[in-house]
Amino acid sequence: MGKPYDVAIAGGGIVGAACADECAAAGLSVAVVEPGPMGGGATAAGMGHLVVMDDSPAQIALTNYSRTLWMNLASALPPDVEYVAAGTVWVAADDEEMSEVHRKRALYESIGVRAEVLDARQLAEAEPHLRPGLAGALLVPDDAVIYPPCGARFLLERAQAHGATLLRVAAKELRGEGIKLSDGSFLSAGITINATGAWARDLTPGIEVRKRKGHLVITDRYPGWVRHQLVELGYLKSAHSISTDSVAFNVQPRKTGQLLIGSSRQYGADHSSIDTHMIHRMLARAREYLPGLADLSAVRCWTGFRAATPDKLPLIGPSPHDARLYLATGHEGLGITTSLATGKLVADQILYRPSAIPVEPYLPGRKQEDAHA
Amino acid sequence: MPKLKVDGVIVDAPEGSMVSAAVSLAGKQSFRRSVTGEPRSPLCGMGICFECRVTIDGRPHMRSCQVPCRPGMEVRTDG
């Protein structure tokens, strides 16, 4: 047993890496415990869409803050992180969804997020492969796209440059005073952080984090075929209810010219193998918006598990049962976007620094209301 | 013999041959470029390796070793 670290983090995904980056930059001694590839868990299940989402005031605050952090970081990111400010186009299928476009634009404007309404003609010009007859869209030009595993690796390397240590072992037990490792040793720490994504409950039983399975498909290279991240406007409200299996139209242009096609969400699916009926539903939904997808060639599909909470907000901060055990998990489909803010909020609390946004909505001890009860 | 165009060059392909043969007859050594710009050409010849992809009549990423030549085809390589 060596000298205790100030902070020991279980999980080398993008959230653990962001926590390590912030803590190490603040001068704390940091160890990260990750047996697998960097960002190989929930991080690899993410599309890498950096997006402001408005499902709740706390979600807006966290995504907007974190997207600003990404925008500020963009020029420092290496090329393989593939940051592209592609912008999001929230597609409205009919007049009812178009009224939602106007509501969303007004809300975004009130918090300083640039957003522009596209009518049907402007949408067709912006994205010629969308089917005719759509009502319009909201363009959010500063939303962006990254390749998440390389984002995680970049943050971790920056932490290591500030002295952080990476341990290629698994965490077997997590307590406030340290982490019991798979090699039998005990890693002592002043603070421990559970950043193991969808697997967080294995180390911290009882927390309200569930595995939610998602499928992704990636095509061959068709540069310029889609120009923005295209998402159906009903994405959260109608398409992704909290309780049932669901799919939604969500297509992203990669820097390579490939198209990344999502999205699906399933509870209770513990196996990582492909569920062909979910892939079929997901692609059928995507073809309703982009009929020409049927003629493109897909090269790979895969699944992953995201960490879902009942109120759709992450758990960020000390456990109510152990002030030295921090949680940084439960980010579900927004973990890539909100990773940087999570790192800030964790370091702020450890160091008693003021935070840029209120931390209370994300504290693990909060009373969670089911967002769709 | 089907007459088709490969990068603007007219090729008389033997009856029953695949587009990959026509591309070779047109003198192309490289059928496409990899992500990092390296030249690529057929490896397996049976539709598995995807190295021989070309654009046929405007459709990108067609496996040239799997598509029979037809008269009037417009084939484009990125080689």
pLDDT digits (tens, 9 = 90+) for A92-137: 999 999 999 999 999 999 999 999 999 999 999 999 999 999 999 9
> Which residue would you say has higher pLDDT here, A229 or A234?
A229
Is there a cis peptide before residue A238, judged by omega within 30 degrees of 0? Answer: no
Task: Examine the predicted complex and report whether its ipTM is higher than 0.85.
Answer: no
Query: Residue B21 corresponds to which tokens in the numbers above?
Result: 């043969």
CB atoms within 10 A of CB B54: 26
Query: Residue B7 corresponds to which tokens in the numbers above?
Result: 């990068």
Could you report the per-residue pLDDT of A189-205, keeping only the tens digit for each? 999 999 999 999 999 99
Query: Residue B31 corresponds to which tokens in the numbers above?
Result: 């059928």
Do β-strands A229-232 and A88-92 pair in parallel, antiparallel, or remain unpaired? parallel
The minimum CA-CA distance between B8 and chain A, rounded to whole Å, is: 22
Would you say B56 and B73 are in contact if contact means Cβ atoms under 8 Å apart? yes
In sequence order, the β-bridge partners of residue A211 are: A307
pLDDT of residue A238: 57
Residues B61, A221: C-beta atoms closer than 8 Å: yes
Q: What is the CA radius of gyration of chain B?
A: 11
Could you report the per-residue pLDDT of A325-372, keeping only the tens digit for each? 999 999 999 999 999 999 999 999 999 999 999 999 999 999 887 654
Q: Does A94 reach chain B within 8 Å, measured CB to CB?
A: no
Q: Does B10 reach chain A within 8 Å, measured CB to CB?
A: no
Q: Does B35 reach chain A within 8 Å, measured CB to CB?
A: yes
Query: Residue A316 corresponds to which tokens in the numbers above?
Result: 């960020």
Query: Residue A97 corresponds to which tokens in the numbers above?
Result: 């969804």
CA pair distance A244, A248, nearest whole angstrom: 13
Chain B residue with the nearest C-alpha to that of A258: B35
Residues A221, B35: C-beta atoms closer than 8 Å: yes
Nearest to B35 among A256, A297, A299 (CB): A256
Could you report the per-residue pLDDT of A297-313, keeping only the tens digit for each? 999 999 999 999 999 99
pTM for this entry:
0.91
Partners of residue B35 in chain A, C-beta under 8 Å: 221, 256
Partners of residue A296 in chain B, C-beta under 8 Å: 61
Q: Does B61 reach chain A within 8 Å, measured CB to CB?
A: yes
> Which residue would you say has higher pLDDT here, A372 or A60?
A60
Do β-strands A229-232 and A246-253 pair in parallel, antiparallel, or remain unpaired? antiparallel
Partners of residue B50 in chain A, C-beta under 8 Å: 299
CA pair distance A332, A279, nearest whole angstrom: 19
* pLDDT band of A242, cuts 50, 70, 90: low
CA pair distance A355, A15, nearest whole angstrom: 18
Q: Does B27 reach chain A within 8 Å, measured CB to CB?
A: no
A239 pLDDT higher than 80:
no
pLDDT of residue A371: 56
Chain B residue with the nearest C-alpha to that of A298: B61
Query: Exposed (0-12), middle (13-18) or buried (19+): which is A300, by Cβ within 10 Å?
Result: exposed
The DSSP output letter for B18 is: B
In sequence order, the β-bridge partners of residue A246 are: A265
Residues B59, A221: C-beta atoms closer than 8 Å: no
- Of A313, A318, A312, the closest CA to residue A347 belongs to A318
The average confidence (pLDDT) of chain A is 95
> For residue A268, how many C-alpha atoms fall within 13 Å in the half-sphere facing its CB?
5
DSSP A97-149: HHHHHHHHHHHHHHTT---EEEEHHHHHHH-TTSPTT--EEEEETT-EE--HH
In sequence order, the β-bridge partners of residue A218 are: A260, A300
> Phi and psi at residue A206, in whole multiples of 5°?
95, -15
* pLDDT band of B42, cuts 50, 70, 90: very high
Helix pair angle (A148-161, A335-350), 10° resolution: 20
Q: Does B59 reach chain A within 8 Å, measured CB to CB?
A: yes
Residues A297, B61: C-beta atoms closer than 8 Å: yes
In sequence order, the β-bridge partners of residue A31 are: A8, A165
Cα torsion A142, A148, A154, A155: sign? positive
* pLDDT band of A373, cuts 50, 70, 90: very low
Do β-strands A144-145 and A49-50 pair in parallel, antiparallel, or remain unpaired? antiparallel
Grouping H, G, I as helix, E, B as strand and the rest as coil, residue B29 is coil
Query: Residue A116 corresponds to which tokens in the numbers above?
Result: 């522009």
* Mutation for A interface: B57, B61, B64, B78, most A CBs within 10 A: B61
The DSSP output letter for A249 is: E
pLDDT of residue A368: 80
* Mutation for B interface: A80, A218, A219, A221, most B CBs within 10 A: A221
Element at A96 (helix H, strand E): helix A95-110
pLDDT of residue A234: 80
Q: Which residue has the tokens 């096609």?
A: A261
Q: Does B33 reach chain A within 8 Å, measured CB to CB?
A: no
pLDDT of residue A243: 65
